[in-house]
Amino acid sequence: MEREQKERYVRWQNYRITQLSFSINLFLGFAIASLTYVINIKLGANPKNPELLMFIIKWWSWSAGFGCLATISRLLDFRYTAKKIKFGGAFNAFMAKWLGPVTWGAFWGQLITYAGGAYCFVSGIINT
């Protein structure tokens, strides 16, 4: 790669890192806020469909859990990638290689479970 190509690659890699972190945090915030709202409805006086609310609470709890897992695996990915670059070592290389896919898997799990809970919530509101 030429010098200019390397600079563009590093710049776009930085954009990707920043956007993934932002997206994880955004949907984690959505999950926590939505979870709080549904729990408030559930604890309120005479909820209309408490079984559906418990189902939605489970979906959004899973979304928040996946968001936490994505954040932690992302931090560990940065840590072990830096250690791999600085010290080398098979363990650091192994962790740096596999923590990225764990982060992406947790992020997609976070998105899917949030969307599933949102679908159930909206369809439950429309049907009641």
Tokens representing 63 are 């979304």
Interatomic CA distance for residues 104 and 98, integer angstroms: 10
Q: Containing H/E element for 1?
A: none
What residues does each domain of the chain span? Answer: 3-127
The pLDDT tens digits along the chain (128 residues) read 788 888 888 888 889 889 999 999 999 999 999 999 999 999 988 888 899 999 999 999 999 999 999 999 999 999 999 999 999 999 999 999 999 999 999 999 999 999 999 999 999 987 87
Please identify which residue in the block is written with the tokens 């049907």: 127
Interatomic CA distance for residues 17 and 67, integer angstroms: 16
- Is pTM, for the whole model, over 0.85? yes
Tokens representing 83 are 């250690």
- The DSSP symbol for 2 reads -
